[in-house]
Structure 1
Amino acid sequence: MGLGSTAKKLQGLSERAEAMYKQVQELQQRIIHLEEEVDETNDTAQRLDHQLTEQRELLLAIAEEQGIDGEQILADAAIDQAELEGNDEPVEPGETTAE
């Protein structure tokens, strides 16, 4: 094997290594960007959760002021939701789920 072919092989290997290095750098930047987006999304979700909790407390206080049992309404809604999720087939209005 001559020095010319060895040099060509080394040059080709060097070019491939450089291309792979660039790809790794690009991938690293994409990962960093994704991590930042995940952090931002997490912050937004926490803020929304906090606001939702505040709104729920406010609505329960208004309901209590009006003589409405807000906790019972929420419990009934949770039961209705659980029944809907437990039913595989959609129920038409006026139909019952009992067989």
Structure 2
Amino acid sequence: MGFGDTAKKIQTLADKAERTYQKINELRTEVEETQSTVLDTSKRVQQLENEMAEQRAVLDAVAREVGVDLESVSTEAHIADAEAAAELADEEAAAEPGEGERGESDE
């Protein structure tokens, strides 16, 4: 009777080991695919950054040629972005309930 229980325990252990081995292989495959995707994405990002730098150089040359002050244009764009972000933050803050309103129903 002791050998039967031992054999059953060994089989259970072997089954668990096989499932664990399969899961590790699945995870290894997923990690390899993720690494490949990250490398591909990194290459694409680098290409896009290079293209943007080239386009920026062309834009700078054209702007100088036609007399546009790029610093003032850039500053105005940053100010507009900051104002839009501040307005959005104000709207989100106004939409959230106040501190006192949340805690009252729990007491």
* TM-score of the two chains, using structure 1 as the length reference: 0.81
Equivalent residue, structure 2, for 1:97: none
Please state how far the C-alpha of 1:32 moved relative to its aligned partner. Answer: 1.1
Task: Name the residue aligned to 1:95.
Answer: none
Structure 2 unmatched ranges of 5 or more: 93-107
Q: Partners in 2 of 1:50 and 1:3 — Cα distance?
A: 70
Structure 1 position 70, deviation (Å): 2.1
SS at match of 1:11: helix
- Quick check: which one's helix share is greater? 2
Greater Cα shift, 81-90 or 53-62 = 81-90
Task: Give CA deviations for 1:44-91 in whole Å, capped at 9, x if unaligned.
Answer: 11211121121112111101111111222112111111121122239x
Identity, % of aligned positions: 37
* RMSD of aligned alpha carbons: 1.6
**Contiguous gaps of at least 5 residues in structure 1:** 91-99
Match of 2:11 in 1: 11
Alpha-carbon contact 1:60-1:71 (below 8 Å) kept? no
Q: TM-score, normalised by structure 2?
A: 0.76
Query: Which residue in 1 is equivalent to 2:104?
Result: none
Aligned pair count reads 90
